[in-house]
Structure 1
Amino acid sequence: MNGVVKNQTYYEWLATQDDKFQDFVLGKERAKLFRDGGLSPTEFSDLQLDKNFKPRTLDEIRAIEPKGFEGVFGDVLQSSKIDESAIMRTDWGDFPNALIAHTKDTITTHKYYQKAKAGDAQSAFLLVDEFLSDDFVKEMGQSIRHYKDVHIVPVHAEEQQGRNKIPMAYALALSEILGVKMDLGIVQADRAYRTSSDGVGRLLKRVNFDGDVVAGRHYVIVDDVITQGGTLADLHSFIENKGGSVILASTLNGKPNSAKLPITKATLGQFANKLAKNLNTGGRSNLVMTSQNSQNLKQDTLPNKSTGTALTASEIRSLRQDLKEAYEQGKGFFKARRLQTSHY
């Protein structure tokens, strides 16, 4: 991979890379527009973010630059709306640190963990009940008490070991103890299999979600364990891009230094080098982390497309039904712990 020369912008550098790399970084449609749309790197860069620094979808770019867009795609995309927004990463902004219930050590060696991870709901309920303290739940309640219409959304997904029930059990516990509602309709729409990846590798594996989001509703997103926060970032983006408002993220387990969700410059540097290795370039990526192209790298180097295997419509229905059945199985399990001072 070629290094960046002095004063070269990120997109000027990207223009010197091969098609395979550009497709991987930008997604095939956006990369084709980048190469063949008749736009300079600066013009293309200016189209990527709106005035609020929110990534534009391809439909929004087409509205601004119709000639270049249609010159590349012709009539192929005239009659179809490109729903890229569902997975386009949104900025965390001043989003608060994730709240982690148990940070002292890992829960992965607990006797209930493997069964819960493989899909046993009862094991998941027992695991969550053991690691979720009343003091932590009170902290959660204080964090959301000023918001109305709050729903808790667990990451419910097909994983290598099965349908992990820990996020669902954690969401159910918070729902019943705090007296807030739980959303049973949003599920992960593909298989990413992030568990065996290293930290930076998890950022490369984008996932999409499926389900209805109510515009203006406040959402708390939860998962079992946090490392780099890639899954939570994709769920956050899915909800925000569909009009919902994510107010908090939380996990049952994780290290304290994983609570900060925005990507750091150090992680971006690791990410760039990981890209070089994954694309078999054999070289080190010498990206210059200036204030200008650091923002570009953060928004655009992360793949805009899901890198998992998409579930079929019937598989998504089955996954959603599995979530509802597990919820029914556990309903009432945590109610004895309900906070008497619950705001809800």
Structure 2
Amino acid sequence: MSNAAPLTIPFKALRARWLGEPEVDIHQIDERVVRGHPDYADAKAGDGEAAIRLVDDTLNPAIIETLRQRWGHAQLTLLPVVAEESEGANAIPLAMAQRLSLALGWEVETGIIQSNVAARTRKDGYYRLAIQPIFDGTADVHQPFLLVDDFVGQGATLANLRGHLMQIGGRVAGFTSLAGKVVSRRIALRQETLAVLRNIHGEGLENWWRQVFGFDFERLTESEARYLSIRTDAERVRKEIAARIREQQDRVG
């Protein structure tokens, strides 16, 4: 079988090797607390006031205290994921950053934005692997950053924002998310997980992955690598991901 990429994507996400970053601090492990909130839909569609109400009701004081204790008197910069989604411009991460700024005294940076509409909410794992969020813009990088998002699943959004930030000289101290499952806390790839993935798929799938996405398996998140590890048919992985990419390309024209 040829390892040549069967398709191309116009823009590739920036990823960086993991440096032992801490787990994602998740405020609500039960995602229904956030998704079931009366202001969730409007906040997701760009209503800033609805987003503030949602965040005020769902930010976890214990997690805020964890953030305070972990970094002590260090000054971090809060960098929210600013993204246009299928429902509209998601206002939740910025509202989170604003409220965390009030609680912790840290600055908020909004100079980096997601430049594509990934529309990954409620999509399956193959779609999330195939359609990577892309970021653009610049930021004042004199302080380390805490990246802020509303949901963490496989972790690609945070990983790609981290990669873009590191490309322009920034340092990432950690991550926080309003909601996500326990298994999504770990974002930095474990060497043991990488070894299992490479043992299962050998070099063929990784070479194809590098050709299509522009980065190797070392830059996957822990959840992405686990997802690929339990799907042992490399040919099916290629076909499923190619189908999701073409689906997205057909939708956006």
| TM-score relative to the length of structure 2 | 0.74
1:164 alignment counterpart: 90
Choose the corresponding residue for 2:175, options 233, 236, 249.
249
Task: Say which SS state the counterpart of residue 154 (structure 2) adopts.
Answer: coil
Matches within 5 A, 1:56-205: 87-106=13-32, 107-145=34-72, 147-148=74-75, 150-205=76-131
Give the Cα separation in 2 of the matches to 1:244 and 1:94: 16
Give the Cα separation in 1 of the matches to 2:142 and 2:104: 21
Cα distance, 1:132 vs structure 2 = 1.2
Task: Say which SS state the counterpart of residue 214 (structure 1) adopts.
Answer: coil
The gaps in structure 2 that reach 5 residues or longer are 190-220
User: Which amino acid in structure 1 is aligned with residue 240 of structure 2?
Assistant: K
Task: Say which SS state the counterpart of residue 221 (structure 1) adopts.
Answer: strand
Matches within 5 A, 1:12-27: 16-17=2-3, 19-21=4-6, 23-24=7-8
Cα distance, 1:202–1:116 mapped onto 2, change above 3 Å: same
Give the Cα separation in 2 of the matches to 1:99 and 1:153: 14
Structure number with bigger Rg: 1
Choose the corresponding residue for 1:268, options 216, 228, 237.
228
Cα distance, 1:111 vs structure 2 = 0.8
Choose the corresponding residue for 1:277, options 230, 233, 240.
240
Give the Cα separation in 2 of the matches to 1:205 and 1:161: 17
Corresponding residue pairs, total: 210
User: Which amino acid in structure 1 is aligned with residue 238 of structure 2?
Assistant: L
Give the Cα separation in 1 of the matches to 2:176 and 2:113: 17
Give the Cα separation in 1 of the matches to 2:37 and 2:146: 26
Task: Say which SS state the counterpart of residue 147 (structure 2) adopts.
Answer: strand
Matches within 5 A, 1:283-322: none
Cα distance, 1:163 vs structure 2 = 0.6
CA contact (8 A) 1:100 1:254 kept: yes
Give the Cα separation in 2 of the matches to 1:159 and 1:91: 27
Give the Cα separation in 2 of the matches to 1:217 and 1:180: 10
Q: Determine if the alignment matches structure 1 residue 236 to structure 2 residue 167.
A: no
| TM-score relative to the length of structure 1 | 0.56
CA contact (8 A) 2:28 2:179 kept: yes
Over the aligned positions, Cα root-mean-square deviation in angstroms equals 2.6
Give the Cα separation in 2 of the matches to 1:145 and 1:240: 23
Give the Cα separation in 1 of the matches to 2:165 and 2:82: 15
Task: Say which SS state the counterpart of residue 190 (structure 1) adopts.
Answer: coil
CA contact (8 A) 1:191 1:308 kept: no
Give the Cα separation in 2 of the matches to 1:200 and 1:124: 29
Cα distance, 1:146 vs structure 2 = 5.2
Cα distance, 1:224 vs structure 2 = 0.4
The gaps in structure 1 that reach 5 residues or longer are 3-15, 29-83, 281-302, 310-344
Give the Cα separation in 1 of the matches to 2:26 and 2:249: 26
Give the Cα separation in 2 of the matches to 1:251 and 1:180: 17
Give the Cα separation in 1 of the matches to 2:122 and 2:109: 28
CA contact (8 A) 1:128 1:166 kept: yes
Give the Cα separation in 2 of the matches to 1:253 and 1:260: 14
Give the Cα separation in 2 of the matches to 1:174 and 1:308: 37
User: Which amino acid in structure 2 is aligned with residue 191 of structure 1?
Assistant: V
